[in-house]
Structure 1
Amino acid sequence: MVYAVDASDIALQAMEVVRENDLSDKVIVLHGRIEDVDIEEKVDVIISEWMGYMLLHESMLGSVIFARDKWLTPGGLILPSHASLYLAPITNSQRYQDSIYFWRDVYGIKMSSMMPLAKQCAFMEPSVETISGENVLTWPTVVAQVDCYTVQASDLEIITAAYKFTSMLQAPLHGFAFWFDVEFNGPVRQKTKKQASQPSDGNMQNASPSSKKKKPDVSIVLSTAPEDAPTHWQQTLLYLFEPIGLKKDQIIEGSVTISQSQQHSRFLNISLKYFTGDQWYVKESVMR
């Protein structure tokens, strides 16, 4: 038996699809929030596409936690089962050219006075877009890891992680990128090759950031990394208002804090602190 739960009106069309295929004895469509519907038995598998931009945007994982605690049988499966959120510094001169430097000469008209406003409009909030592995200046660091079998809603309210990168290139630092992976495993997470070879600091500084990652043999992984095939999640970029020139092997360190908005539960507050050798900077953004 399958219980298909959806709060949107697409559930009404799903009911018709089930009837059309003579599956009413096997699939029950419930129109409502998972927190409000009634299921009269335990379930063996919970499948949910809860991931938002930057993994945690829209805060849908709480609904999976609710369903797990109320209905999942001991030893049952949750798919996807685990998730990892990554952060890395990036360079993206073309984005600056298209959004900011364009105003220096607009078809022969000087409009540099527009640049401060353009920066506010383009870079105040996080930007969801696709970059490539060539834009990434270092290997990423892990910001958060989620085990869907054990995570609690309170664990997601505030996430803080420190980072330390070493730039592999001489290039302008234009911002930072977030992306995520999700795995499909049982309650006991199998160790992937990627995890086995990753240094303890999580930064993998000695490898090329644009080289292709080896897919693990013992786990199915959906990746939204820049070097993998694009997905509708793309990557989430925090652009700096002013680029910072980096030298090869220059250290970039700091911390990132991600918290659920108190005013809007589906929004994320992001505070990024970074130090490039001469002073500290802070980038505050809201993922709406």
Structure 2
Amino acid sequence: MSGLMRLGAVRAALPRARGSSGQRTAPFVLGVRHFSRIDAYQHYYGKLKNQEGMLRDTARNEPYRLALEKALQKMQGATVMDIGTGSGFLALLAAKYGAGKVYAIEGSPEIAQVASKLARANGFGAVVEVIPKHLEEITEQDIPLASVDIIVSELFSHFLVGEVGLQVVTEAKRFLKPKGLVLPQEAVLKLAPFEDAQLGAELRGRHSFWQTKDFMGLDLSPALAIAEEQLLKELVLDIVAPEQLLLTAQQAPQERLDLVTPDDPDVWRKMSFELVFPPRERDALIDGLCGWWDVIFSSPEGETYSVLSTGPDAAPTVWAQCRFLLHKPMRAAKDDVLNVKCELKSHKERESYSLQMLLRNETSKMQSRVGPVELSNVYARHFARANPFPYETWSST
């Protein structure tokens, strides 16, 4: 999810960036006007056309519907919080499946009005209360502390964390009852190496202008290296065919994220992990790493309700997959031992994350790096061509 690049993840209910003291950090300053990416979220997600894109994404919506339906017994008469409700879709589903009270949190005033209107029109006006505030502005006068039975949210972005959605749910836990249910409960980040020389050539070709040696008598080529360096700092969103990877999606190693246990939002400020890749089927010149995520909806007893996957082997979603280019392609035999160290740091001013990775061939001792990539710095390559996005309307059965 990222502005025009992503039709549906973190809404305007995201918290504004905070420093370690818990105080809000200063937003960008443009002349005398203060500007924050939150302003952009509110404007973007306040548009019904963009909400339509999310509602048409069946691969996104169905796992949520199924999870709420599976939680039917716990839902009866329950108090539910839907964070970043947008058009109110999840809030209305919770009401439909028996919730007694639904707090629908939405920071965009325009779309909050739409959610209220849809709640009334569908007969849930007495159940769904739309609160047009950012989550951090919600007080116990709005929602009593420890009064919520179920928290549900869809605040995910490219590589899951691109727009700091995990912090929001953790911060919201002050309203959750002891042993309350959080949906989804778990997420996994996955990575697989790929070989695609054409991609690198294509992306570098986007900056061929800076090869010009006679631009009105001026040589622009000294800037080419800077343009290529900037390219390597971009997150490339793309729809990746499974056969383009050097591993199957099932073989790709993963990092598990517990979305339920943390009580301090600062736990998500920095995430570091290391993954080991299994042997590949062939030797390759690795050009980069492909990343995606799954989220898992479970009962408190551990029963899996449903899974939302953004992998290359799953139905296409608005998130697509992430491609991270190596600074230098790295050769690897099929049985070479490869590992990758990944570090994600929250970027306060950008209200996003900065990602760095180090890919190491333990057999040859060669290594190459990715980044730093700002996850808010997105090139949506898949939008430049036709793709099999499943625009379908959800309907009951």
Greater helix fraction, Structure 1 or Structure 2? 2
Cα deviation code 1:103-150 (max 9, x no counterpart): 99xxxxxxxx7975663353322212221211221322223x222220
**Which of 272, 281, 285 lines up with 2:368 in the alignment?**
281
Does the C-alpha gap of structure 1 residues 103 and 246 become closer, same or farther in structure 2, counting only changes over 3 Å?
farther
2: CA distance, partners of 1:157 / 1:100: 32
Q: How many Å separate the matches in 1 of 2:260 and 2:301?
A: 9
The answer on 1:271 being equivalent to 2:364 is no
Residue identity opposite 1:24 in structure 2: G
Seq. identity, %: 26
Q: 1:23 aligns with which of 84, 100, 124?
A: 124
Residues paired across the two proteins, number: 250
User: Once superposed, what is the RMSD of the aligned Cα atoms?
Assistant: 2.4
Q: Aligned with 1:64: secondary structure?
A: helix
Alignment of 1:172 with 2:273, yes or no, is no
Q: Whole-Å Cα distance in 2 between the matches of residues 74 and 168 of structure 1? A: 48
Aligned to 2:272: 160
Q: Give, in angstroms, the shift of residue 47 of structure 1.
A: 1.0
| Structure 2 CA distance for aligned equivalents of residues 17 and 233 of structure 1 | 26
As a proportion of its length, which structure holds more strand?
Answer: 1
Please tell me whether the aligned partners of residues 101 and 115 of structure 1 are also in contact (alpha carbons under 8 angstroms): no
Paired with 2:124 and 2:206, the residues of 1 have a C-alpha distance of: 57
**Deviation, structure 1 residue 76:** 2.2
Contact 2:327 2:369 in 1 (8 A): no
Cα distance in 2 for residues equivalent to 1:117 and 1:102: 13
Distance of 1:169 and 1:15 partners within structure 2: 55
TM-score normalised to structure 1 length: 0.78
Q: How does 1:4-153 map to 2 (within 5 A)?
A: 4-9=104-109, 10-37=111-138, 38-40=142-144, 42-68=147-173, 70-100=174-204, 116=225, 119-138=228-247, 139-143=251-255, 145-152=256-263, 153=265
Deviations 1:78-108 (A, max 9, x none): 111111111221222332343336999xxxx
Q: CA deviation at 1:40?
A: 3.5
Which ranges of structure 1 fall in alignment gaps of 5 or more residues?
A: 105-112, 191-217
1:215-268 C-alpha deviation (Å, 9 max, x unpaired)? xxx44111111111111111122112332233222222241111112443x221
The residue number in structure 1 matching 2:308 is: 222
Query: Could you say which residue in structure 2 is the equivalent of 1:203?
Result: none
What TM-score comes out, normalization by structure 2 length? 0.58
Q: Is the 8 A contact 2:330 2:367 kept in 1?
A: no
For the 8 Å contact 2:191–2:252, the answer to whether it is kept is: yes
Structure 1 residue 4, shift from structure 2 partner: 0.9
Unaligned runs of 5+ in 2: 1-100, 209-220, 377-397
